[in-house]
Chains A and B, each alone.
Chain A
Amino acid sequence: MIRIAAVGDVHLDEDVVGRFRPALEELPDCADVLLLAGDLTRHGTEAEARCVAREFGDLGVPVITVLGNHDHQCDQVPQVVKVLADAGVTVLEGTGTVLETPGGRLGVAGVKGFGGGFAGRCASDFGEPEMKAFIRTTNESAGALGRALRGLDCDVLVALTHYSPVPDTLAGEPLEIYPFLGCYQLGQAIDSAPTALALHGHAHHGTERGTTPGGVRVRNVAHPVIKQAYSVFHLGGRDHLD
């Protein structure tokens, strides 16, 4: 069995530092890894990234993250990634990593993702350059996730995104904004590999549970949704993919 802790949308700045720490101190007793589903900061500044490094550094378990849309706001992504990497946090963007845990090899592939909408109610690669650029960003992001997932050799495979791969976990959000909250292409990428679990954030008013069309379990771990410092999932270990 592999124990995964996860949370997204913690939106750190000076005023939040220390709030998560008491619960995080318990992590080594209850999880093999902590996955962060993006929106670590408010505006994506280097200073805010240092707050994330203080709060989520030296936890006693590996920390793996993707960035979110907030982490892009100030166009300081390289600086943010460097601060996080220096603190020992693995930042995924169309990439994957494999961890040895007592329950087996855990593979995590991650990407921020993008909007676009869901099957039958989504944007198309057609029309104005701006519209085409939007949906091409969606397609490229999902394509990178699929390649990263299929490229990992592991016992249990987890997909980590900021945007949602399914509409199920958006229930509670206004229908009109679904195309800004996720896209079906991420779900398609997740279903293209033997993924055991998909975790995302971004939808603060959404709900926790859903599944992809291919039957992969999806969990929205946005902090306002789970209303606790992190959620913990126990995933079947070595025999899961046998």
Chain B
Amino acid sequence: MTEHSAGPPDEYVEAEIHRMLAEDPAVAEQGITVVRRERGLVLYGEVESPHRREEILRRVSERFPDVPVTSDIGVIRTQAPTQVEELP
């Protein structure tokens, strides 16, 4: 028997988190990348509000309390464009 340890997450945990990000109605993000690093998982990507960024980390930590997760998720800028593309 093997006990569940707090070691590096395996591929199944990564897959489960990736699916949760899309399927959990509180998250519903398909554009977040889950990357396994030696010390845990890192979440990359961009979302539409700071609230969503916080919610992602909260939901993942809540569901996988033993998995060390860090977030490098950005909020997409919404400034008006300064240039146009000419398509003759």
Contacts and interface: CB of A to CB of B under 8 A. Distances in A.
B31 A23 contact: no
Q: In the complex, which range does the number of interface residues on chain B fall in?
A: 20 to 34
Interface string B52-88: 1000000000000000000000001111110011111
B10 interface: no
A154 to B, nearest CB: 16
B51 interface: yes
A233 B84 contact: yes
Nearest to B30: A204
A3 B81 CA distance: 13
A10 B77 contact: no
Contact of A223 (B33, B76, B81): B76
Contacts of B77: 227-228
Interface string A190-207: 000000110000001100
B31 A205 contact: yes
A234 B85 CA distance: 6
Contacts of A50: none
B86 A234 contact: yes
Contacts, number: 75
A224 B81 contact: no
B78 A20 contact: yes
B45 interface: yes
Interface string B14-32: 0000000000010010110
Contact of A236 (B31, B81, B88): B88
Contacts of A19: 48-49, 78
B79 A11 contact: no
Nearest to A180: B30
A191 B46 CA distance: 33
B34 to A, nearest CB: 12
B46 A204 contact: yes
A16 interface: yes
A233 B85 contact: yes
A42 B76 contact: no
Interface of B: 25, 28, 30-31, 33, 45-46, 48-49, 51-52, 76-81, 84-88
Interface of A: 3, 10-12, 15-16, 19-20, 22-23, 26, 30, 42-43, 70, 73, 196-197, 204-205, 217, 219, 223-224, 227-236
Closest CB pairs A-B (n = 5): A204-B31, A23-B80, A232-B84, A15-B49, A15-B51
17 contacts: A22-B78, A23-B80, A204-B46, A205-B31, A205-B33, A205-B45, A217-B87, A224-B31, A224-B45, A228-B81, A230-B80, A230-B81, A231-B81, A232-B81, A233-B87, A234-B85, A236-B88
Given A204-B31, A232-B81, 11 more contacts: A3-B84, A23-B79, A30-B81, A42-B28, A205-B33, A224-B76, A228-B77, A228-B78, A231-B84, A232-B85, A234-B84
